[in-house]
Structure 1
């Protein structure tokens, strides 16, 4: 992937991995457009980084996504890279509340249907652009699930599968499809405590490693930092049962 001179749209860019990745790519000389639901959070990022731009979108709403894609293309016709980063991660107590599907449905709408809908909306535009790329953000939990967040883990497994299929279908189009699979990272995805959890990878270290891998030529189809490799390759290494048990013991 070309890492400079792009026009890049990043969903979920107001905080966490999305914000840190937006800032890193902005420093490299890209035009970066961040998106999310919270206008105030987006404006704070843009104010700190002159030249960055922001658009709001509700990734659970098909109409909002369609309108958002139209605005992005109209306002930034050079757009050639989209990073599907927006996502939520909430614990589910399945045994205690088997009929409460609200978290599962919201997670599927945000983490899976959102990226699929946005990709479909932007593909006609991206097919006409040089150095075009679609990046998806899955998770190490796509490969070894966390039982406390079953739907989150399932959506990330689905994003991995979708990315593989999308890459195959677009292989003659010139559009790169790159999957980023984070390990447990110091963000506030699961609350404030995660941001300082010593068991989690420091966010700055994660972003540095990701940007280095993105600049590799040829760029790997999957961006797997060292901390994520035990999860990503557990099945190949024959360690999936042990890794699953260790992961779910550590996180309760």
Structure 2
């Protein structure tokens, strides 16, 4: 993955990590298309960041994804990078089904089926490009669970294994599969997270991600230093301690300190 000269589609990038990464990549000489559900947010992005293109897309809707893919490829036939950024993170209480089933279903729809459908919509085109990239977005919580977000944790663990698996399948193509593994980042993903001292400042996170891409364009995973506490807990042999530490925080810090992908 090269840091410049790409044409990049980032669905789910109207705020947070997605938008910050879109702006940074645009400044590095890439053509960037931002996707999102809300037309007013897309209009604001075009006004504030004239270098970005936009397209309306709902990643929970198959027809919307198909229409967005057709629109993006018609306007940008040289597209060579898909960053599946869209995601939600909601708390659940599994003591009673009325409190968690609907939330769990929405989380799976957005965090797992969304990326699968997006990849499905673009994979044939990407295989026709000589330097294509699919970037998935998992989480430190794919490797260590946060008690209050079971389905979020599960979808991010699934994204990790999906990334590992499709990388093997696509090894005979020109498509590179890169997994971005964020730690806690100061975004609005969870209440209180934007100002949490536990979470990593957004600009610092994106700057480190860009640096990682520059330093290792063949990387399979992009891991900023701060996510290592979660990502490598099992291999270090302190998994139980990390789980206890993560889940011992007060509710607001726990939510804010969890993750931002």
Tell me which residue corresponds to 1:148: 148
Shift of the alpha carbon at 1:122?
0.3
Q: TM-score, normalised by structure 2?
A: 0.93
Mean Cα deviation higher: 48-57 or 80-89: 48-57
Is residue 211 from structure 1 mapped to residue 183 from structure 2 by the alignment?
no
Shift of the alpha carbon at 1:63?
1.6
Is residue 81 from structure 1 mapped to residue 81 from structure 2 by the alignment?
yes
5 Å-filtered alignment, 1:56-95, equals 56-95=56-95
- For residues 46 and 135 of structure 2, the distance between their equivalents in structure 1, rounded to whole angstroms, comes to 22
- For residues 230 and 90 of structure 2, the distance between their equivalents in structure 1, rounded to whole angstroms, comes to 20
Is residue 15 from structure 1 mapped to residue 15 from structure 2 by the alignment?
yes
Cα-to-partner distance string for 1:76-98 (whole Å, 9 max, x where unaligned) = 11110000010000111222555
- Listed as ranges, the gaps of 5+ residues in structure 2 are 252-261
The alignment partner of 1:88 has SS state of: coil
Cα-to-partner distance string for 1:146-201 (whole Å, 9 max, x where unaligned) = 1101101100000000000011111121211000010011000013x210111110
- Listed as ranges, the gaps of 5+ residues in structure 1 are none
5 Å-filtered alignment, 1:177-216, equals 177-191=177-191, 193-216=192-215
Tell me which residue corresponds to 2:226: 227
Q: TM-score, normalised by structure 1?
A: 0.96
- For residues 132 and 123 of structure 1, the distance between their equivalents in structure 2, rounded to whole angstroms, comes to 10
Tell me which residue corresponds to 2:243: 244
The alignment partner of 1:85 has SS state of: coil
- Say whether the 8 Å CA contact 1:12–1:35 is kept in structure 2: yes
Cα-to-partner distance string for 1:135-155 (whole Å, 9 max, x where unaligned) = 001100000011101101100
Tell me which residue corresponds to 1:169: 169
Tell me which residue corresponds to 1:40: 40
Cα-to-partner distance string for 1:53-104 (whole Å, 9 max, x where unaligned) = 1111111111211221121111211110000010000111222555641110
Query: Closer, same or farther in 2 for the Cα pair 1:72/1:230, shift >3 Å?
Result: same
- For residues 52 and 215 of structure 1, the distance between their equivalents in structure 2, rounded to whole angstroms, comes to 22
- For residues 125 and 164 of structure 1, the distance between their equivalents in structure 2, rounded to whole angstroms, comes to 21
The alignment partner of 2:10 has SS state of: strand
Shift of the alpha carbon at 1:28?
0.4
- Count, aligned residues: 251
Task: Write out the 4+ residue segments of structure 1 that deviate beyond 3 Å after TM superposition.
Answer: 96-100
Tell me which residue corresponds to 1:126: 126
- For residues 213 and 42 of structure 1, the distance between their equivalents in structure 2, rounded to whole angstroms, comes to 28
Query: Closer, same or farther in 2 for the Cα pair 1:251/1:105, shift >3 Å?
Result: farther
Is residue 5 from structure 1 mapped to residue 5 from structure 2 by the alignment?
yes
